[in-house]
Chains A and B, each alone.
Chain A
């Protein structure tokens, strides 16, 4: 079995042997799962889609030309899978809504903080989460890739198959929507401006 190294993880060719594909899964599965969980809001679905993402990557390994990094390519597969899933499961809105509480457990470190401050921070994160879930698919994906995964704008453009300017526009709109929702809910976040630079 091939040894896992960062160089291998970002190499421009995918292994053709399933045994050698092992390191790709080990290196990227957490990130892919996290992104899918953010996009589909369903732990079971995110788990299944993560598996599907790697299967699809393995089956279509010949189409990977190495123009982008392997992580970006896998992320684009994951985003497309999440998009298809959400499109085909609109009826499951209420089911997702029922699961939101369990999924949106706020994990804010409260050591050394006053209870009031912790509550305010939880409300803030809830408000952002609420706003993000109501964004259109592309805007939501761009927002999450940028602000949760810390991806560069160029990589987001590749993942979403969009122009760089379009990604900036999506991010600006998403940030504005988040800011407005927070204000509507009476939560002061300061002026949420697009920190795109």
Chain B
């Protein structure tokens, strides 16, 4: 039994090794193709390299641009000023009270007085009329 397992194992081992070797070759070939295509894509004509070389050499002689500390300060001050102005310009102003027609108070007081002077409230007027009708009937009898 043990011998049989050993022999199947020993047969399996070279097959696994071959498969792995094949996979390794596949990988190497895929990466080689990738390398080749990437390198070819980056190829440029000779004039391109000469031009770039010349530009680089020209720029080497340019003075190194120094950062001006005052510029950042000026920009931040300007930005603050703009924000400050916007804050006050956009702030909503208080809405004025609506204009009432002249004598509005007087009219209201007259209305109230008129209502108070009524014998019956307006809502009870039908009941009051019913009462008047009953009184008239009794007086006739």
Return the chain B residue nearest A122 by Cβ: B37
Chain A 157-197 per-residue mask, 1 if CB under 8 angstroms from chain B, else 0: 00000000000000000000000001000001111110100
Total chain B interface residues with beta-carbon distance under 8 A: 31
Alpha-carbon separation in the docked complex, A18 to B60 (Å) = 6
* A to B contact number (C-beta, < 8 Å): 100
Contact A147 B23, beta carbon cutoff 8 Å:
no
Return the chain B residue nearest A128 by Cβ: B34
Contact A191 B30, beta carbon cutoff 8 Å:
no
Chain B 19-30 per-residue mask, 1 if CB under 8 angstroms from chain A, else 0: 010111111101
Contact A147 B57, beta carbon cutoff 8 Å:
no
Judged by a CB distance under 8 angstroms, whether B93 is at the interface is: no
Contact B35 A147, beta carbon cutoff 8 Å:
yes
Contact B52 A51, beta carbon cutoff 8 Å:
yes
Return the chain A residue nearest B22 by Cβ: A190
Q: A22-B57, A51-B59 are in contact. Are A108 and B30 (CB under 8 A)?
A: no
Alpha-carbon separation in the docked complex, A130 to B40 (Å) = 17
From 35 to 81 in chain B, residues with beta carbon under 8 angstroms from any chain A beta carbon are 35-42, 44, 49, 52-53, 55-57, 59-61, 64
Alpha-carbon separation in the docked complex, A46 to B80 (Å) = 38
Contact B37 A189, beta carbon cutoff 8 Å:
no
Contact B33 A25, beta carbon cutoff 8 Å:
no
Judged by a CB distance under 8 angstroms, whether A129 is at the interface is: yes
Contact B27 A192, beta carbon cutoff 8 Å:
yes
Which residues of A are found within 8 Å of B53, using beta-carbon distances?
A: 22, 25-26, 29
Q: A18-B60, A21-B60, A51-B55 are in contact. Are A147 and B24 (CB under 8 A)?
A: no
Judged by a CB distance under 8 angstroms, whether B128 is at the interface is: no
Contact A37 B42, beta carbon cutoff 8 Å:
yes
Which residues of A are found within 8 Å of B49, using beta-carbon distances?
A: 29-30
Chain B 78-106 per-residue mask, 1 if CB under 8 angstroms from chain A, else 0: 00000000000000000000000000000
Judged by a CB distance under 8 angstroms, whether A58 is at the interface is: yes
Judged by a CB distance under 8 angstroms, whether A137 is at the interface is: no
Contact A147 B34, beta carbon cutoff 8 Å:
yes
Which residues of A are found within 8 Å of B41, using beta-carbon distances?
A: 37, 103-105, 107
Contact B60 A195, beta carbon cutoff 8 Å:
no
Chain A nearest CB, measured from B53 CB (Å) = 6
Contact A55 B59, beta carbon cutoff 8 Å:
yes
Chain B nearest CB, measured from A174 CB (Å) = 11
Alpha-carbon separation in the docked complex, A190 to B40 (Å) = 24
Contact A106 B38, beta carbon cutoff 8 Å:
no
Which residues of A are found within 8 Å of B56, using beta-carbon distances?
A: 25, 29, 50-51, 54-55
Pairs A–B under 8 Å by Cβ, sample size 5: A50-B52, A103-B41, A104-B41, A109-B36, A190-B22
Given contacts A107-B40, A128-B31, 5 further A-B contacts (CB under 8 A): A26-B53, A51-B56, A59-B64, A105-B41, A150-B35
